[in-house]
Structure 1
Amino acid sequence: MRFQLEKYKGIHPGIILERLLAKKEIAQRPFALSIGEHLQTINAITKGRRSLNTALALKIEAALSLEEGALAFLQTYYEIAQMKKKALHTPNLSHLRKSLFWDTDISKINWDKQYRAIIQRVYERGNETEKQELINFMDKKR
């Protein structure tokens, strides 16, 4: 499986796990019981709602005869992909004063979902540098 790992980089390991179980015709419930885990845990992982910790990855790999560390490798690269995706959707925070967002942690702002409130706050309380950074970051429609 070593040569195949490259093409799966950035994909949640739960998706790969779900495909492997389907390919081997193993249902989630008996699989979860066989490795001593809760069905809800396996289900959340296969749906991509939960990350895969190293201990559980090793259990799953042993049960499915996978190369040791394969799923942990996929989880790491999935997290890297998510961080890169998040970094693309964040303006240059050095151009924005933290006091502008005094009531929230500026590093946890969802710039895509909360854009209306962000635009309003920057245009009401921000200086020209902050307004320009917002213009550079946001697309013209917003």
Structure 2
Amino acid sequence: MATIKFGFTPTHPGEVLKDEIEYRKISQRKLAQQMGLSYKVLNDLLNGRRPLTTTTAMLFEAALDIPADALMRLQVKYNIQQASNDPSFMERLNKIRKYAAML
């Protein structure tokens, strides 16, 4: 079971963007072309198979007028949640914390 760190399960920014372009009735192919992205890259991003980068966030801001910083905050929270659900990474963090406590 996933550990919830933020009081809610973080959403991949692609989900928000996908809902927005569907609401606006914008074709993914047209949007990809307008943004200078391949259809596959856009579709992967909208379906959570690819992370949002700073540059893609800025492209979405230019195309859809959705603030890039808000999209990046969603991505960071999503990334932290994903890392928090990785048992081997969490074990590594716990070892570091134990060592740091002895300093």
- Tell me the percent identity: 31
How many residue pairs get aligned? The number is 87
- Structure 2 stretches of 5 or more lacking a match? 1-5, 96-103
CA apart distance, 1:85: 1.4
TM-score by length of 2: 0.74
Distance verdict in 2 for CA 1:9–1:80, change over 3 Å: same
Between the two structures, name the one with larger relative contact order (CA 8 Å, sep ≥ 6): 2
Aligned to 2:71: 71
For 1:1-142, what aligned pairs fall within 5 Å after superposition? Answer: 10-86=10-86, 89-90=87-88, 92=91
Distance in 2 separating the partners of 1:27 and 1:69: 24
RMSD: 2.3
CA apart distance, 1:67: 2.1
CA apart distance, 1:7: 8.9
Instruction: Tell me the secondary structure at the aligned position of residue 26 of structure 1.
Output: coil
Q: Which has the larger radius of gyration?
A: 1
4+ long deviations beyond 2 Å:
6-9, 89-94
TM-score by length of 1: 0.55
Distance in 2 separating the partners of 1:84 and 1:75: 14
